[in-house]
C-alpha cells in the first residue's frame, strides 16, 4: 500500500505547474478561451444543471445504518471506499512501457483511478500456433524483455501481454477484470493466420478464384475479394467450403470452451462478440446457415448467436456476457433486441466512442463537431431501448496537439462527456482505451492518452481524477438519531463507517449502498 501511495504522489507532482494551473476550476470557467462560445452554448448552464440532476437521481441512493453501541453526542464518519460504477481502462501495456518506473506508474492507476481493467484476449496473438494458447507468461512477456526493446511497436505481441499474470495482478488489488474479445471477424487484429491451413486442398483451389492472395486467405477482406466472389451466393459457398465452414464453427466453439474452462468465473465479464452489427444490418446472419458471407470474409453462419450460446453454456452463470460494437445506432440496438428475443444471454451492451482524428476534437471545441449533448443523449436513449446496462467499453478522446491548448481541449471534452455519460440511467461503466500516448494500435492517434509516453500526467488525467475521486465520492459526517441510526445520501458503492463506542474505542464497519 505504501508503494502505491508513493506512486500516486509521483503522479501528482509530475505535471507541469503551468498546465495544472490553467485547468478550469469549474465547468463554466474557461477564461483562456480554449473552447469557443459555440461550444459553451451547447454545454450551457441549463445542460449542466440537467446533468447534475440526473447524476443525483441515478448514481446516488439513500443509506440507513444503525449503530447500537455509539457514544452519546458523537458523530459518525461516512467514507466511500469504492464505486459501484465502473471506471475502467484497458491494461494492454502491462510491463511494456520500457522502464520500470513507467510500468510502476501505469500499474498504480489500477486501484487509485481505475477500478476495472480490460484484458487482451485477441485470438491472433493469444493462440499464435494452433492448440498453444498463451495463458501463462513466457520470457517475451516479462518486463526485462520489454525493457530491452528499442522498437516495441514492431513486436507481434505488442499490447498483447499474456493474460494470466495480468489477471493475477488485478485480483490481488481488487480490480474488476473484463476479457476482450472472444469472437470477432477482423482479419488484421483477431483471426489467427493459421486458420487458412484448415482448408482442404480443393477448398484452397476454389479460394484462389476469389482472391489474388490465396496463401493469405484468412487475411483478406471484402475490399480484396474478386467480383466472382461477390457474385457467388452463400449457398454456393457453403457447398464449396463445406469442410472449412464446419471446421470454423468447431474452432470458434472450442476457443470459447477452452477459455471458459481455464478461467471459469475468475474474469468478471467478457466481450463475447465484437463488431458484428454490420453483418446483421446487411442481412448476412441467417439462422441455421453453415456459413456467413461476412463483411470480414467467410465466417460461421449466424456466428453472434452461436457464440453467445456457447458462452452461456461454458461460463458460470455469474459471469457477465457482453456484446460490443462501435455502432451507436438503431441497427445495433435492433440486433441486440433480436438476439435477446432468440434467447441469448446478453448482460451488458458495449458501446465504443473513438475520437481518433485530432480534427474531430478541434471541431468539437469550435462548436460544430460530434458528441454534442443532443447527439450523446440520442444514441444513449436508442441503445437503452434494449433494456440492458450500457458500458462505454472503449473511448478515445485525442489531444489535438501536444501544446497547452491541445491538452486543455482534450481535458474539457473529457470532463463534459464523462459527466453526461455518468448521468445516463442505464450506464454502468466507462472504459478509457489508450492510457499512454503513442501506445495505441497502428492507425490510432499517438496523443490520445491521459499520460505522455514518459508517463507524465496530462490535464485530462486530472479532470478524471477530480471527478472520480472527488466530486463523485461521498465523504461526510452524520449525527445519529436517539436509537443510533444515521441517514445519508451518497454515491452507490462500498462505505466505511467509523464511530466511537461507549467505551471510547474506535469502531468501523463496512456498508454497501445500492
pLDDT above 70: residue 231: yes
pLDDT above 50: residue 220: no
292-331 residue pLDDT tens: 999 998 999 999 999 999 999 999 999 999 999 999 999 9
Beta-carbon count within 10 A of 482 CB: 6
Please tell me whether the peptide bond between 59 and the residue prior to it is cis, using omega within 30 degrees of 0.
Answer: no
Among the listed residues 188, 167, 182, the one whose alpha carbon sits nearest the alpha carbon of residue 91: 167
Q: Helical H runs in 241-281?
A: 242-263, 277-281
Beta-carbon count within 10 A of 262 CB: 13
Q: What is the largest CA-CA distance in the chain?
A: 87
171-201 residue pLDDT tens: 999 999 999 999 999 988 999 989 989 999 9
pLDDT above 70: residue 5: no
405-420 residue pLDDT tens: 999 999 999 999 999 9
β 485-491/506-513 pair status: unpaired
Q: What is the pLDDT of residue 230?
A: 86
34-49 residue pLDDT tens: 999 999 999 999 999 9
pLDDT above 80: residue 254: yes
pLDDT above 90: residue 9: no
> What is the average pLDDT value for the chain, to the nearest integer?
91
Total domains, the chain: 1
Q: What's the residue count for the chain? A: 514
99-124 residue pLDDT tens: 999 999 999 999 999 999 999 999 99
Per DSSP (E only), the strands in 263-387 are 269-274, 291-294, 297-300, 320-325, 348-355
Q: How many whole angstroms separate alpha carbon 178 and alpha carbon 88?
A: 9
The angle subtended at Cα 377 by Cα 373 and Cα 381, nearest 5°, is 175
Angstrom CA distances, 94 to 9, 221, 355, stand at 21, 31, 24
At residue 11 the predicted structure's pLDDT band, cuts being 50, 70 and 90, is: very low
Name 352's Cβ contacts closer than 8 Å, sequence gap at least 6: 324, 325, 326, 328, 392, 393, 394, 395
Q: What is the pLDDT of residue 12?
A: 37
Q: What is the pLDDT of residue 212?
A: 60
pLDDT above 50: residue 223: no
* Structural domain containing residue 198: 2-513
473-507 residue pLDDT tens: 999 999 999 999 999 999 999 999 999 999 999 99
pLDDT above 50: residue 143: yes
CB–CB of 94/107 below 8 Å?
yes
CATH of the domain at 329: 3.20.20.80
Q: How many whole angstroms separate alpha carbon 35 and alpha carbon 367?
A: 8
Q: What is the pLDDT of residue 217?
A: 44
Buried b (16+ CB within 10 A) or exposed e, 485-511: ebebebbbbebebebbeeeeeeeeeeb
Quote the pTM value.
0.93
Amino acid at each position: 500500500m505504501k508503494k502505491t501511495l508513493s506512486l500516486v504522489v509521483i503522479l501528482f507532482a509530475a505535471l507541469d505547474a503551468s498546465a495544472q494551473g490553467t485547468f478550469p476550476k469549474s465547468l463554466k470557467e474557461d477564461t483562456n478561451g480554449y473552447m469557443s462560445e459555440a461550444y459553451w452554448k451547447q454545454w450551457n448552464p441549463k445542460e449542466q444543471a440537467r446533468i447534475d440532476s440526473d447524476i443525483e437521481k441515478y448514481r446516488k441512493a439513500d443509506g440507513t445504518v444503525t449503530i447500537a453501541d455509539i457514544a452519546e453526542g458523537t458523530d459518525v464518519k461516512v467514507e466511500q471506499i469504492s464505486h459501484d460504477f465502473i471506471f475502467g481502462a484497458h491494461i494492454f501495456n502491462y510491463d511494456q512501457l520500457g522502464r520500470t518506473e513507467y510500468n510502476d506508474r501505469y500499474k498504480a492507476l489500477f486501484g487509485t483511478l481505475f477500478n476495472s481493467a480490460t484484458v487482451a484476449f485477441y485470438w491472433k496473438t493469444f493462440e499464435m500456433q494452433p492448440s498453444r494458447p498463451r495463458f501463462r507468461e513466457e520470457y517475451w512477456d516479462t518486463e526485462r524483455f520489454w525493457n530491452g526493446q528499442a522498437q516495441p511497436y514492431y513486436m507481434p505481441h505488442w499490447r498483447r501481454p499474456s493474460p494470466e499474470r495480468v489477471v493475477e495482478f488485478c485480483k490481488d488489488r481488487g480490480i474488476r477484470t473484463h476479457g476482450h474479445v472472444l469472437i470477432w471477424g477482423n482479419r488484421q487484429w483477431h483471426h489467427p493466420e493459421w486458420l487458412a491451413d484448415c482448408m482442404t486442398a480443393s477448398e484452397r483451389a476454389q479460394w484462389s478464384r476469389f482472391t489474388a492472395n490465396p496463401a493469405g486467405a484468412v487475411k483478406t477482406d471484402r475490399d480484396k475479394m474478386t467480383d466472382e466472389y461477390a457474385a457467388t451466393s452463400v449457398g454456393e459457398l457453403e457447398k464449396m467450403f463445406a469442410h472449412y465452414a464446419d471446421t470454423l464453427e468447431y474452432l470458434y466453439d472450442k476457443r470459447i470452451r477452452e477459455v471458459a474452462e481455464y478461467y471459469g468465473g475468475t474474469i468478471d465479464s467478457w466481450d463475447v462478440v465484437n463488431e458484428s452489427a454490420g453483418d446483421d444490418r446487411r442481412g448476412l446472419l441467417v439462422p441455421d446457415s453453415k456459413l456467413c458471407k461476412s463483411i470480414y470474409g467467410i465466417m460461421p453462419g449466424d456466428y453472434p448467436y452461436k457464440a453467445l450460446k456457447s458462452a452461456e453454456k461454458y461460463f458460470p452463470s455469474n459471469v457477465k456476457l457482453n456484446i460490443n460494437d462501435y455502432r451507436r445506432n438503431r441497427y445495433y440496438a435492433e440486433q441486440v433486441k433480436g438476439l435477446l428475443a432468440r434467447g441469448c444471454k446478453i448482460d451488458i451492451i458495449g458501446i465504443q466512442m473513438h475520437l481518433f482524428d485530432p480534427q474531430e476534437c478541434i471541431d468539437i471545441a469550435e462548436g460544430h463537431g460530434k458528441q454534442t449533448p443532443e447527439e450523446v443523449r440520442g444514441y444513449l436513449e436508442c441503445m437503452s431501448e434494449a433494456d440492458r446496462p450500457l458500458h462505454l467499453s472503449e473511448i478515445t478522446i485525442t489531444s489535438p496537439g501536444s501544446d497547452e491548448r491541445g491538452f486543455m481541449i482534450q481535458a474539457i471534452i473529457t470532463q463534459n462527456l464523462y459527466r453526461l455519460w455518468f448521468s445516463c440511467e442505464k450506464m454502468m461503466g466507462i472504459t478509457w482505451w489508450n492510457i499512454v500516448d503513442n501506445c495505441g494500435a497502428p492507425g490510432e492517434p499517438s496523443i490520445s492518452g491521459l499520460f505522455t509516453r514518459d508517463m507524465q500526467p496530462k490535464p485530462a488525467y486530472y479532470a478524471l481524477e477530480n471527478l472520480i475521486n472527488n466530486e463523485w465520492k461521498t465523504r461526510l459526517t452524520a449525527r445519529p438519531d436517539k436509537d443510533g441510526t444515521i441517514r445519508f445520501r451518497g454515491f452507490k458503492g462500498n462505505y466505511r463507517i467509523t464511530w466511537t463506542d461507549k467505551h471510547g474505542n474506535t469502531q468501523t464497519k463496512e456498508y454497501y449502498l445500492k
